[in-house]
């Protein structure tokens, strides 16, 4: 395996983790806003 390929393989995991975290945070914010709009508890 070349050095470049190994570097890309190692660095792709933080990028994927960041994308998953951002997706979860955006979904949570949308749920909070919808609950406030409807006057309901998030829990």
As for how many domains the chain has, the answer is: 1
Q: Evaluate if residue 42 carries a pLDDT over 90.
A: no
Identify the domain containing residue 7 by its residue range: 1-43
Q: What is the pLDDT of residues 4-39, one digit of tens each?
A: 999 999 999 999 999 999 999 999 999 999 999 999
pLDDT at position 1 is 77
pLDDT at position 43 is 84
6-31 residues labelled b (16+ CB within 10 A) or e (exposed): eeeeeeeeeeeeeeeeeeeeeeeeee
């Amino acid at each position: 395996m070349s050095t470049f390929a190994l570097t890309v393989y190692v660095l792709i995991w933080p990028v994927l983790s960041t994308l998953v975290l951002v997706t979860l945070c955006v979904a949570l914010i949308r749920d909070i806003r919808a609950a406030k709009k409807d006057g309901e508890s998030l829990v």
